[in-house]
Each structure stands twice: as C-alpha cells, then as structure tokens.
C-alpha cells in the first residue's frame, strides 16, 4: 500500500521557514517534501520509508530516500540514497 496525501498540514506548520535541511521520517510517497520544496526550492529533504514502492515515488520530490525498517535496521552504514 502506498501512503499518499496532500501533505500533513499539522507537521508542515511546525517546520520553520528558515529550515533548509529536513529529514522526513515516514515520508511515504514524498508528499510533505513536495510541499516543503514548493515553498522553498533551496530546501534539501531526505526521506525515510519502509516501502520500496513509496520510495520510488518519493524520489521525485526528495533529494534522497532511504528504505529501512527503523524497528529492525542498524542505522550506522545504511548506505547512500
């Protein structure tokens, strides 16, 4: 199942306008990244998701996407986007 929406307004409202480097944990298909970069093109957004299908969609919006399960993955050395 692919997680899509129009961006999570509650979360997006917490991101200061000055934020340029953003980690989107649970990025789904990259909808928050699309909204964040729509406001400021100079933002650098990395997404984390557990779903390879979501990651392939999110890559269109994120500067990098990592596929991992945070409940079982080692966070050190998990590779490049």
User: For residue range 49-80, what is the model confidence (pLDDT) as tens digits?
Assistant: 999 999 999 999 999 999 988 777 566 555 55
List C-alpha distances in Å: 51 to 1, 30, 44, 63, 77.
Answer: 8, 12, 21, 17, 19
Q: pTM for the full model?
A: 0.82
Gap between the Cα atoms of 27 and 42, Å rounded: 19
Q: Which two tokens stand for residue 43?
A: 């933002």
- What percentage of residues in the chain have a pLDDT greater than 90? 73
Q: Which two tokens stand for residue 66?
A: 């990592």
Q: What is the pLDDT of residue 45?
A: 97
């Amino acid at each position: 199942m692919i997680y899509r929406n129009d961006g999570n307004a509650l979360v997006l409202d917490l991101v200061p306008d000055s934020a340029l480097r953003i980690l989107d944990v649970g990025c789904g298909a990259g909808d928050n990244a699309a909204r964040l970069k729509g406001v400021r093109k100079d933002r650098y957004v990395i997404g984390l998701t557990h779903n390879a299908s979501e990651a392939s969609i999110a890559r269109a919006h994120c500067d990098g996407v990592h596929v991992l399960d945070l409940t079982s993955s080692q966070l050190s050395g998990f590779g490049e986007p």
